[in-house]
């Protein structure tokens, strides 16, 4: 093998970090591997890229093959290329991530995924390969993103309380980041991102709270232009 030929002996893979929100907690979708290496270990949904396949297509294919999830918006985050990150040879992986509403999707494990389940971020143990490192990197990206672009349009009901919106932010930012209720409300309302409805909660034991919805036009503007949400 010539020196030039040796450069073409590396493999590429994609790993999907799918964060899910269930109304009160941030979770991560993991598969239990049914094939070597790391058979039986929990891992991110990932696999090798076909030689004739582009990266974005591979990420979507692998996610659907292993978990059954389709039509998930995937954002490329980072490349991981440690020489010994895969026991079978040099494999460079590209990490993708997304944040979805868990109730909108049905997880169906297949291929070498023995099972696929949502796990609380705080309860993730030792994952296969370098997937703990990949997960941590994507979580940091998600935390930065919620401070620069709005979240919640696809994750909350069409009508929601300010408390529900605050719980969403707290679930992403994680402990020990508890948000001051008064400061959060003052900040979020000053952005004119929400429309106050002439409605309150129904069927609750406590004093019913006001309901809000997103101003779709303003939401789209913030998505394209960004903002600074420091609280």
Distance CA 93, CA 131 (A): 10
> Which domains are present in the chain?
3-146 (3.90.79.10), 162-225 (1.10.10.10)
Distance CA 208, CA 225 (A): 34
Containing 93, the helix (H) or strand (E) segment is strand 91-101
Distance CA 131, CA 125 (A): 10
Distance CA 179, CA 79 (A): 32
pLDDT, tens digit, for every residue of 96-115? 999 999 999 999 999 999 99
State the average pLDDT for the chain.
93
Is residue 169 within 8 A of residue 187, CB to CB? The reply is no
Share of the chain above pLDDT 90, in %: 81
Distance CA 38, CA 87 (A): 10
Q: What is the mean pLDDT of residues 81-108?
A: 96
pLDDT, tens digit, for every residue of 127-170? 999 999 999 999 999 999 999 999 999 999 999 999 999 999 99
Is residue 140 within 8 A of residue 221, CB to CB? The reply is no
Strand partners, 195: 213
Distance CA 221, CA 94 (A): 29
């Amino acid at each position: 093998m010539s020196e030039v030929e040796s450069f073409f002996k590396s493999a590429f893979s994609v790993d999907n970090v799918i964060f899910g929100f269930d109304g009160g907690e941030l979770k991560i979708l993991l598969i239990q591997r049914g094939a070597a290496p790391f058979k039986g270990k929990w891992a991110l949904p990932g696999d090798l890229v076909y030689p004739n396949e582009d990266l974005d297509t591979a990420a979507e294919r692998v996610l659907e093959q292993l978990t059954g999830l389709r039509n998930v918006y995937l954002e490329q985050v980072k490349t991981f290329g440690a020489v010994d990150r895969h026991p079978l040879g040099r494999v460079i992986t590209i990490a993708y991530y997304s944040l979805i509403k868990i109730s909108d999707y049905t997880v169906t494990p297949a291929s070498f995924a023995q099972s696929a389940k949502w796990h609380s971020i705080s309860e993730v143990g030792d994952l296969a390969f370098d997937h703990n490192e990949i997960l941590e990197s994507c979580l940091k990206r998600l935390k930065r993103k919620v401070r620069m672009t709005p979240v919640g349009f696809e994750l909350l009901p069409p009508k929601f309380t300010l408390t529900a919106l605050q719980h969403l932010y707290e679930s992403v930012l994680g402990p020990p980041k508890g948000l001051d209720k008064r400061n959060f409300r003052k900040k979020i309302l000053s952005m004119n991102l929400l429309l106050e409805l002439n409605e309150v909660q129904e069927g609750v034991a406590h004093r019913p709270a006001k309901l809000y919805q997103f101003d779709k036009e303003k939401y789209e503007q913030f998505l394209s232009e960004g903002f600074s949400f420091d609280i």
